Structure 1
């Protein structure tokens, strides 16, 4: 049975070490590599060896008992969470590695939230229990309090005196099963009934209950051990082999999606496709859907990568994934057949201007960043020609450092980046509607849109109340496809629109003259006109944070947060430490970590993560600073185009 297993963790939790032991225990490698020795099987990029962190998601394929396991190693730093989320959509199961020395961190919470959003069965591995002072019970409670209390303890630590020795498996012995049964009884009525009535529970019933609860994401197994010493690793493999199930349908028509794009050393595009049902084979053709056309690519080769190496195969079956060279029209998130993929929930909050030597021209640099954006769409490179500037969106400053190294290594070009700035967004306050008409000579399309504000951080949704007898489904689908592009600029600062519901209420076409590009133009004009007719507001990104400091510094921290236009809950005290939790604008918080480090002499604990967008605290200042002239933006005009007597004219 094919099973795709992800491994995710915060930095230094031991994720890569665990994967090395899995590869070693399945006879995939002869010796387990180590991060500190730069010998990891999947962290083979020079950048990863240099920094000792996973930057790129990579794959390995192993056989274990009755399962074929496709292992995906995911990045551990929060700045590369977008790479993590793209990988998550491929998974049948994920192992979250938590260091017993660190417990649950803000990035652990991000990982958990993403897995829950995509409904991925999840296992926890409490690692590094051999570190003196670590406490399994404390970390277990940490998971309960911060992530989920629906935990099933599968392995537990055993100690000699006060030192960690080995583990015991609850499923393999009779002792410690009461706690397991109690936990199952909380979520399984059948187990509860027998448990309360002291009716013996058969092994098959116990196993069936665990399998059902884990695979429908109602309960989450907890394992423990020491990855570096290969303690507790096989127990995870045994559990995945026996309890994790998949429902791939090999006999159905092909469906699948693109979860990753890479360019090799020859700049050949590699499209990684996960097959959900059926199969694809060499010589098959794939039909892409784009705004203006439906290009078709032929599959000439299929590769299955194992680390840095690959083998060629003729077919990919349901549950498998591979890389296909030469699909030039593919993009991350593209679906084929009867397949749906959730949109990424992560949003970059910062952008930076690219700085480079005059010996390079803008076309060269832009081409490099187009390739990188193809691989990571959230970079969203933009060439602002009126300013002659190239901007990229980023998750954090570490990502900029990695980008600089990647470009030097892959493209032999030196670039730098200016200090990051916040990415603002715009939305509307009231319902609005407008018509977009596009009718140059021998072209015709008309779109009527109603746009309504929706709840904050809900993004953009589209619906249609226009009957297909009025506007055929083909053209309605074209309008839907264009909407995200038409919402790229608002009227206040030229920032992207969000938190709106767009309804197609009416439309017109010409059998003789309408082409798909006409509906693109009409949709752009309808969106712009509608936005101009109502009041817009500026939004800015916020971080949620947790700061723990000595009690005597808590007052200063709260003053700082207030000064930064942030908010916080009532502080909590634990002996000599105070923890402050709250939200703060990203624009005010960017430089605060270094200030906090200096203030506390390195004795503060700071966790922060993106929490969403909110009303901008200094919108008037930002609007004036950006100085966007919406009427002068010819690409996003609200003017409709009409035609009379063979001549076109513009109407405001």
Structure 2
């Protein structure tokens, strides 16, 4: 039996969850079609999802198409939950991108398609809602070609557009010939010679689709079922099945973690190679941990069923890995894929309500961070405050509702603020020697901090011989450097810099035969972990740093006659238009805007544009803060910028 791991992706409200319901009904997995409005769909299982009518967490259901088992993954459409989509993309064999025939290509549609094309994930397009008043086909298809991909091939035509009985008539038209012959000279030659058969054209279409070079487009309605049988045929014939050797080394990726009724962790994993068995011991977290598999479930006919094994290509729920995290490799790692989308650019402090236990709140937030690591918990021990990283205001509302409904905790939030970073402005160096001056640690550490190109991250280098002291001490220095750079001179994470170890030294363990031997006078890793923050922060102080705030690129489409009202508001929000163009009565503005002003722009745009404006935004870059008051962030470490305070906390000694 072959396996196809299929993602359903779309802008919010395009109808992907409804399409999932229709697919399951069409193949006989469910007898009745659930409704998003009624809150009884198969994949939106959270009470919060059903009440709000949006998908928040990815969900897996399964069905059979002939000899292919399709694991269908429904993903969130709202941009605030893009991290959930990111985790799914790495385990897909193919995707269906849903576009509304009424709203057309929307902001999130473009973001998703760009990523699908960059990752070369074979993708079908399904234009939904052809039965709705205001539905368009030619206009939407043209927008798909212009704004998503020129290599789109309509798989038929629509009759009765905008009516309840709208239907899809399959059949390849001239566009298919144009797109395919433009990519294949042999195909073009066969057409010119008059020997190009329909079978060869369809075989070429399937091959190009599986290579993610062509994107077939189907039309239909998830509500009435029009076009869905043809889409199912397309899924079966045009998308590739999963590969992987079941007899190869065990290799899988965890893309979701949830808690069971007893609080146990359950990992959702895609197996790329090998066979995982219950009671096997398997390394995970890049071999930093090892655990025994206590149970396995695989997905079959709409639900998950217990099995003793899971083979390459399949998705499984796995029990027994107590410390497993999203992104962990099971068995042999496949290599880090990096982030497909930008990390969160906003943060807020969680404020417990009257009577809310802080310990219970911290535990609940930790549980939420297991399911979504990018919420980035940050706890201030002194003020007993916890902050979370966010993509937007809707995500904040969901966190608040989840804490109330699942954990019984009443919370509010402080104002959302931008999540800034610091960049070194120059080079700076510092050193402290073992046994000299006021250094209370049995260690010598010298560090130089220098700026690096944007996007470089943190690069740690050695300007000393690797064999000059035990490797564990080098590792302690490097790990501490990376941890310490989480809070720079202004409290923000320091990035895009090179840190070089320029000096090192230690007190070796003396022989027992040596008179006056004192084990406590030999260096330990704790000495290097204690000294490194002091040296690093002094080097950074001498280098200097600037605070950079996150900037989003934006694209606004609005009636041209509303520009007069729109431009002053953009200026007030510190948005900088870079290009302005008009297409008939439509104006298109593109530029950059601070991340913390995007939500206000979203709220004000409808009133400024008679409800006709459309905003697309996504993270673009970090820019130096252009305000007189440089934003700072409360420190949560032992504050190595204050030597006396730091030493009191770390060594209980003042160091002078």
Mark yes or no: TM-score above 0.5.
yes
CA spacing shift, 1:251–1:41, aligned 2, 3 Å: same
Structure 2 CA distance for partners of 1:477 and 1:81, relative to 1, 3 Å: farther
| Structure 1 SS opposite 2:387 | strand
Equivalent of residue 537 in structure 1, options 535, 540, 546: 546
How far did residue 567 of structure 1 move? Answer: 1.4
**Residue 225 in 1 paired to residue 220 in 2?**
yes
1:581 aligns with 2:579: no
**Residue among 392, 403, 408 paired with 2:404:** 408
Aligned match of 1:261:
257
RMSD: 3.8
Query: Matches of residues 476-555 of structure 1 in structure 2 within 5 Å?
Result: 485-491=483-489, 493-500=490-497, 528=537, 530-555=539-564
Q: Is the 8 A contact 1:85 1:114 kept in 2?
A: no
Q: Secondary structure at the match of 2:272?
A: strand
Task: Give, in angstroms, the shift of residue 375 of structure 1.
Answer: 1.0
Structure 1 residue 426 corresponds to structure 2 residue 422: yes
Unaligned runs of 5+ in 2: 510-521
Matched, 1:301 2:295: yes
Rounded Cα–Cα distance in structure 2 between residues aligned with 1:10 and 1:160: 22
Give the TM-score normalised by structure 2. Answer: 0.85
Match of residue 107 from structure 2: 106
Matched, 1:359 2:355: yes
Q: How big is each residue's C-alpha offset from its partner over 1:587-632, in whole Å with a ceiling of 9 and x where there is no partner?
A: 34442333344445x5242313222233234344133xx3768997
**1:189 corresponds to 2:185:** yes
8 Å Cα contact 1:11-1:53 kept in structure 2 = yes
Structure 1 residue 526, shift from structure 2 partner:
6.7
Deviation string for 1:227-268 (max 9, x for gaps)? 211122222222222232233222210011211111234322
Superposition map of 1:151-230 within 5 A: 151-159=152-160, 165-170=166-171, 176=173, 178-195=174-191, 197-202=192-197, 205-230=200-225
Per the TM alignment, residue 369 of structure 1 is displaced from its structure 2 partner at its CA by 0.5
The CA distance in 1 between the partners of 2:184 and 2:164, in whole Å, is 36
Aligned: 1:70 with 2:75 = no
Aligned to 2:247: 251
Deviations 1:49-100 (A, max 9, x none): 1111111100001111121111100011111111111111111111110001
Q: Is the contact made by 1:270 and 1:325 (CA closer than 8 Å) also made in structure 2?
A: yes
Q: In structure 1, the residue corresponding to 2:166 is in which secondary structure?
A: strand
Matched with 1:328 is: 322
Which range moves more in the overlay, 508-517 or 302-311?
508-517
Residue 560 (str. 1) matches residue 545 (str. 2): no
Please tell me whether the aligned partners of residues 428 and 536 of structure 1 are also in contact (alpha carbons under 8 angstroms): yes
- Mapped contact 1:81–1:346 kept (Cα < 8 A): no
Secondary structure in 1 matching 2:566: helix
CA contact (8 A) 2:281 2:292 kept: yes
Q: Deviations over 1:190-211 (max 9, x none)?
A: 323433x335234564344334
Shift of 1:437: 8.6
Taking structure 1 as reference, are residues 548 and 385 closer, same or farther at Cα in structure 2, changes over 3 Å only? same
Q: Is the 8 A contact 1:450 1:504 kept in 2?
A: no
The answer to whether the 8 A contact 2:7-2:74 is kept is yes
**CA gap 1:603/1:436 in 2 versus in 1, 3 angstroms:** farther
Tell me, yes or no, if structure 1 residue 87 matches structure 2 residue 88: yes
1:327-406 alignment, distance < 5 Å: 327-336=321-330, 337-344=332-339, 345-406=341-402
Q: 1:161 to 1:334 in 2, by over 3 A?
A: closer
Q: Runs of 5+ in structure 1 lacking a partner?
A: 642-646
Superposition deviation, residue 157 in structure 1: 2.1
Q: 1:206 to 1:436 in 2, by over 3 A?
A: farther
Deviations 1:338-359 (A, max 9, x none): 4123222322121111122342
Does the 8 A contact of 2:559 with 2:613 survive in 1? no
- Partner in structure 1 of residue 20 of structure 2: 19
Moved more, 328-337 or 391-400: 328-337
Q: State the partner residue of 2:43.
A: 42
Which residue of structure 2 aligns with residue 621 of structure 1?
629
Going from structure 1 to structure 2, the CA distance change for 1:627 and 1:279 (only over 3 Å counts) comes to: closer
Q: Which moved more, 1:543-552 or 1:241-250?
A: 543-552
Relative to structure 1, the CA distance from residue 294 to residue 544 in structure 2 (aligned partners, 3 Å threshold; closer, same or farther) is: closer
Deviating more after overlay: 392-401 vs 317-326: 317-326
Does the aligned pair in 1 maintain the 2:449–2:543 contact within 8 Å?
no
Q: Pick from 274, 279, 287: which aligns with 1:278? A: 274
Q: Compare 468-477 and 310-319 and name the one that shifted more.
A: 468-477
Asked if structure 1 preserves the Cα contact closer than 8 Å seen for 2:534 and 2:641, the reply is: no
In the superposition, relative to structure 1, how do residues 423 and 638 fare at CA in structure 2: closer, same or farther (>3 Å)? farther
Larger radius of gyration: 2
Whole-angstrom distance in 2 between the partners of 1:581 and 1:430:
33
Aligned residues: 634
C-alpha distance in structure 1 between counterparts of 2:63 and 2:434, whole Å? 56
Query: What is the match of residue 121 of structure 1?
Result: 122
Q: 1:523 to 1:92 in 2, by over 3 A?
A: farther
Task: Return the offset for 1:152.
Answer: 2.5
Residue 514 of structure 2 is matched in structure 1 by: none
Shift of 1:310: 3.6
Secondary structure of the residue aligned to 1:186 is helix
Match of 1:606 among 584, 603, 614: 614
Q: Match of 2:276, SS?
A: strand
Shift of 1:435: 6.8
